[in-house]
Amino acid sequence: MCKKTYLLVVSMLIAGLLTACSGSPTKDSGQAQDNTKKEANASNNALKDEKNNENLMEQDFKVPYTDAINIFKDKYKDADIVDLSLERDLNKFVYTVEGVDDNNEYKMKIDANTKDVLEDKTEKLDSEDLNGVARKEKLD
């Protein structure tokens, strides 16, 4: 009876070891596959962004960026511009002009073909950006 119990225990241990050493994928290999997919997606997005930038360079806009700056400065005379970008937004090309003064931050979106102001937002600056701290990031 002892021999049978011993053989049964040894058989179960061997079966357990074989199961533990099987070549099934682990979480680490799954994470590696996920990382590879994420890297491929990031690469594809970078290529799309590059193509979009090329398309922007080929476009002829009725409103030059200097007009977008002037529209912003006419409304917010004391603000310093900290960011200016041109993007496609809902099948329109839009200038986004962002600026700050000592107490507020401003964001204005202007249609690059019609000069229409599509968005105009004002927000109070966070306490760490008050009193000219945010103005240090202004564009020259």
Residue 132: HSE in the Cβ half-sphere, 13 Å Cα cutoff: 0
What pLDDT score does 98 carry? 92
pTM of the model: 0.56
Q: Go through 71-96 and write b for each residue having 16 or more CB atoms within 10 A of its CB, e for each that does not.
A: bbeeebeebbbbeeebeeeeeebbbb
The answer, yes or no, to whether residue 70 has pLDDT greater than 90, is yes
The answer, yes or no, to whether residue 67 has pLDDT greater than 80, is yes
**Which residue is it, tokens 């041109």?**
86
What pLDDT score does 117 carry? 95
What pLDDT score does 84 carry? 92
Give domain 65-137's CATH architecture: Roll (3.10)
Task: Please give the structure tokens belonging to residue 39.
Answer: 């890297």
Instruction: Determine the residue type at 28.
Output: D
pLDDT tens digits for range 8-58: 666 666 766 666 665 555 555 555 555 555 555 555 555 455 555 455 556
